[in-house]
Amino acid sequence: MIDKFGRKIDYLRISVTENCNLKCIYCIDENSILNSCNNDILTDDEIVKIATECARLGIKKIRITGGEPLVRKNIESLIYKLKCINGIEEIYITTNGVLLHTKIEDLKKNGLTGVNISLDSLNKERFKNLTKFDKLQDVLLSIDKALELGLKVKINTVIVDDINKDEIIDFVNLTKDKNLDIRFIELMPIGAAKNYKGTSNEEINQIINKNFKNIKVENKSKRSGPAKYIRVDNYKGKIGFISPISSCFCEDCNRIRLTSTGFLKKCLHYNYGVDLKKHIRSNISDKDLNELIYSNIYDKPQEHLFMEDCDNKENKYMNQIGG
């Protein structure tokens, strides 16, 4: 599937719920949590129907997101159904890791390729302050169990000024003895995150280079997405940087997003797209659904404008969009 700017779109992110078992401060304003979460989300069969047509258009990789996707009932079964779609080669999940250790074996059996675990502090009290729950040990256990099972493990970390900048080196040191990737992701001004000042990856990189003298730049692979990687010599894991604010990578964007309520988003930054749920529940044919998805992806915008005022800017919280 090629969009009008010549980009190959082969990656579909599917949010399966708006609900979450944490209340992270830069995900959603606690005073603005909607009461309508999950009142009318896509069924498993509807998700599979959309994913099947996306696969026919060239989607090869699926990532399951939320909210927290592991709070969705029978998520293991949905993973299996998606893995069975002809053309789908990889299934990943992005999770906060709290429930992962209880489900990881069944998820792998049903086709899960790897996990991205969102983790912004290794300090117990700070984790509790950031998420409103004392669940750090559950997350750390999940990381170890995923590694034991041979799954690909990436830790997604957002560094915010005056909150967790002092933990950068602690995160880097996780890669010393564990075969995982730590990925520093710049804070995007969406939802409650607009109230905080993110630390740029340039500054994070400078801090790392001041503390480690034996840094090697890793060659970028086709599967690494927008991340640029380095490695501390003789460390098992890698350190990645995803920089949507300071270094726009829209020219290489290969993804589309499906919200839990069935809205196909062309870009994280913009609020426009198409309500696929409405069409599916009006008995749209597979052929017409395929053409509807294609026409919307073909018209994917050239780039985001996070730092500028513009029309059609997305104002929803990340749990509504899909992380």
Q: Decide if pLDDT at 194 tops 80.
A: no
Strand partners, 153: 115
pLDDT bracket for residue 299 (50, 70, 90): confident
DSSP element (H, E) containing 318: helix 318-321
Mean pLDDT of the chain: 88
What's the distance, CA 216 to chain centroid? 26
Is 2 in contact with 294 (CB distance < 8 Å)? no
Distance separating alpha carbons of residues 198 and 189, to the nearest angstrom: 9
Helix axes 136-148, 124-131, angle to 10 degrees: 100
Placement of tokens 């002092």 in the chain: 166
Q: Decide if pLDDT at 295 tops 70.
A: yes
Of residues 290 and 315, which shows the higher confidence score? 290
Looking at residues 11-34, what average pLDDT do you find? 81
Q: How many CB atoms lie within 10 A of CB 207?
A: 16
Determine the pLDDT at residue 261.
94
Determine the pLDDT at residue 309.
59
In order of 88, 280, 283, 289, the CA distances from 277 in angstroms are 21, 5, 10, 10
Pairing of strands 215-217, 228-232: antiparallel
Determine the pLDDT at residue 303.
66
* Tens-digit pLDDT profile for residues 30-79: 655 554 455 689 999 999 999 999 999 999 999 999 999 999 999 999 99
* Tens-digit pLDDT profile for residues 80-113: 999 999 999 999 999 999 999 999 999 999 999 9
Determine the pLDDT at residue 31.
58
Q: How many CB atoms lie within 10 A of CB 18?
A: 27
Determine the pLDDT at residue 17.
94
Determine the pLDDT at residue 197.
84
Q: What is the side-by-side order of every strand in the sheet holding 273-275?
A: 215-217, 228-232, 238-242, 181-185, 152-157, 114-118, 90-95, 61-65, 11-15, 255-258, 263-265, 273-275
Q: Decide if pLDDT at 321 tops 70.
A: no
Any idea what DSSP says for residue 71? G
Determine the pLDDT at residue 269.
60
Q: Decide if pLDDT at 146 tops 70.
A: yes
Torsion sign, CA atoms 222, 186, 244, 263: positive
Looking at residues 189-203, what average pLDDT do you find? 81
Residue by residue, what is the 3-state secondary structure of 178-235? CCCEEEEECCCCCHHHHHCCECCHHHHHHHHHHHCCCEEECCCCHHHCCCEEEEECCC
Determine the pLDDT at residue 253.
82
Looking at residues 203-223, what average pLDDT do you find? 89
Determine the pLDDT at residue 68.
96
* Tens-digit pLDDT profile for residues 107-137: 999 999 999 999 999 999 999 999 999 999 9
Of residues 163 and 222, which shows the higher confidence score? 163
| pTM to 2 decimal places | 0.90
**101-108: which pairs have CB atoms within 8 A and are 24 or more residues apart?**
101/138, 101/141, 101/142, 101/145, 103/70, 103/75, 103/76, 104/142, 104/145, 104/146, 104/149, 104/151, 105/149, 106/76, 107/75, 107/76, 107/79, 108/149, 108/151
Distance separating alpha carbons of residues 288 and 294, to the nearest angstrom: 10
pLDDT bracket for residue 257 (50, 70, 90): very high
What's the distance, CA 2 to chain centroid? 22
Determine the pLDDT at residue 98.
98
Q: Decide if pLDDT at 254 tops 70.
A: yes
